[in-house]
Chain A
Amino acid sequence: AQTVTQSQPEMSVQEAETVTLSCTYDTSESDYYLFWYKQPPSRQMILVIRQEAYKQQNATENRFSVNFQKAAKSFSLKISDSQLGDAAMYFCAYRSLTGNQFYFGTGTSLTVIP
């Protein structure tokens, strides 16, 4: 099984500031997908951003961007101009291009301080 590691169980950020959540993964594959999911207090899991490993350009979705370092097997999420609504649990996930299973990290709980 693939391993996805989120070493920060909890993070906090001041409103309007920038925060980076870390994720590392272990794989011998060369082609795969990486994901960041958000789980607010409502428990509903929402896809934040997706990165295809074959793409060198880092994915961006509005205030959310990633720093994908393939050689280092690192996939961090940067949230700019943090808002109160960003407070949630964030999960990093991996899927091999040839596989059907998604592997999730243990999550990082983000608190946004007004």
Chain B
Amino acid sequence: NAGVTQTPKFRVLKTGQSMTLLCAQDMNHEYMYWYRQDPGMGLRLIHYSVGEGTTAKGEVPDGYNVSRLKKQNFLLGLESAAPSQTSVYFCASSYSLREQFFGPGTRLTVL
């Protein structure tokens, strides 16, 4: 099993560009999450999903959109990137909510 994978691992964008981050899990987990990690701020929840076809807002959803068309995939989109979105993005999944399994992270820089 690959666990949770994230694509890409690194990306540099210019202000105003758009991009999509892909999270994939092969553990048949219902719950999936997108976080951003910034120095001194821990992990903050952007959006999450409790199952295929569902999405919900987290703590910091502005500027991001998500989709969960397939159970194994959770996409995070930035429609018009801003320098404030420079961060490390983590995807996580969970089956029972007693533990989260994290991907390796995506380092995004917006110039």
- Residue positions of B touching A, CB distance < 8 A: 31, 33, 35, 40-45, 48, 50, 56, 58-59, 88, 90, 92, 97-100, 102, 104-105
Contacts and interface: CB of A to CB of B under 8 A. Distances in A.
B99 A50 contact: yes
The A contact surface, by secondary structure, is loop
A44 interface: yes
Contact of A91 (B42, B88, B104): B42
Nearest to A1: B59
The B contact surface, by secondary structure, is strand
Contacts of A102: 33, 45, 100
A80 interface: no
A11 interface: no
B9 to A, nearest CB: 10
A91 B92 CA distance: 15
A4 B59 CA distance: 14
B96 to A, nearest CB: 10
Given A1-B59, A91-B43, A106-B41, A100 B102 contact: no
